[in-house]
Amino acid sequence: MVVAGCGAGLGQDGKRGTPEPTATAAATASRDARADIAVSPRDGAQDVPATGPLRVSVARGTLTEVVVTSGDGLPVPGTVTPDARAWQANGPLQLATTYTVDAYAIDDRGRPAARHSDFTTLVPPHTVMGFWTPQDGSVVGTGMIVSVRFSRPIADRAAVEHGITVTADPPVPVAGHWFGDSRLDLRPAEYWRPGTRVTLTLRLRDVRAAPGVYGVQSRTVTFTIGRDQRSTVDAAAHVMTVRRDGVVLRTLPVSAGSPEHTTYNGVMVIAEKLPLTRMDSRTVGFGAAYDIPDVPHAMRLTRSGTFVHGNYWSPPTVFGTTNVSHGCIGLSDTKGGGLATPAGWFFTHSLIGDPIRVVNSHDTTVAPDNGMGGWNLTWPQWRAGSAL
């Protein structure tokens, strides 16, 4: 039998009966009653763990009603034992919250007793928050990987991962993979189906992430998978083939990484779109090799600095014939970025989350944690990185 908030009282036989009059009247009568009500945690307790336990029991009597509310007035559901001699909360409590307990009982002669108590749960000294991509309400490509980065290192990865779920409509299995102790990525076995509605749910409030560190979030994020566009860059042939729903949409001449600064092989995913940006070689470990203040149509592929972008400073003859970049994939463009150029066309027709596969480059496969490189792991390899 569940007793909570404003529920009716329990009769002496355990069935629903008439609630006791008032706390004051019951307390007055309880001076003569033999029933002895005990509440745990004790009255006035501080720093009570979220796990409690919160329990009400009675000796030499039976419970007639238990009312437990949080500081914001929400009732706390609980279950009474068949003999009506004990009540216990059904689940964990919220942290940093004051709870009030009012319990009523009768002894074997029907005389009422009452007990009032309050306590406060633990106020955590440290909290952790997750910051996620993609954005709520966005439309993304089929290669999108959900990524959650945490403001503090996570020691109990299983507890945190249990509080984060990604579901899809139509349904598809989704698994998580940890990269270090501050990043959790989630994806299905294959690219998403176009039109899929994806929901990211974070239920991290009061989750113990590390000793003395607790989550504070309860959020729901939704996004939609757009059309299926996949591109392949052949670094040796200097071309990029863009396919939409399996059909070749366009073939574009490119200039990939030079022999001294080759482009990564493998699948990379567009993570950011910038109509215009500055590219400074000193930020990616190339010294003072270049500093271009107005790179047009730039789309980030890796965290380490690989982009596909417009290039107006190289001779037009290099595109489709020679690899001259420092690892990026360059498309012919004009200063300021023209929409009719190859770079402008590709920028306009691309979404964050679109996958781009690079082949035939004299380099290693991009690391799975470098941007959204997780598609370069097999499904068993990906699932092996889950804490669940």
Active site residues: 309, 328
**Amino acid at position 151, single letter:** S
Q: How far apart are CA 195 and CA 63, in angstroms?
A: 54
CB 48 within 8 Å of CB 93: yes
Amino acid sitting at position 340:
A
Indicate the residue type of 182. S
Measure Cα distances from 214 to 133, 208, 222, 277, 382 in Å.
Answer: 21, 5, 24, 38, 27
Show the 3-state SS of the chain: CEECCCCCCECCCCCECCCCCCHHHHHHHCCCCCCEEEEECCCCCCCECCCCCCEEEEECCEEEEEEEEECCCCECCEEECCCCCEEEECCCCCCCCEEEEEEEEECCCCCEEEEEEEEEECCCCEEECEEEECCCCCEECCCCCEEEEECCCCCCHHHHHHCEEEEEECCCCEEEEECCCCEEEEEECCCCCCCCEEEEEEECCCCEEECCEEECCEEEEEEEECCCEEEEEECCCCEEEEEECCEEEEEEEEECECCCCCCCEEEEECCEEEEEEEEEHHHHCCCCCCEEEEEEEEEECCCCCCEEEEECCCCHHHCCCCCCECCCEEEECCCCCCCCCHHHHHHHCCCCCCEEEEECCCCCECCCCCCCHHHHCCHHHHHCCCCC
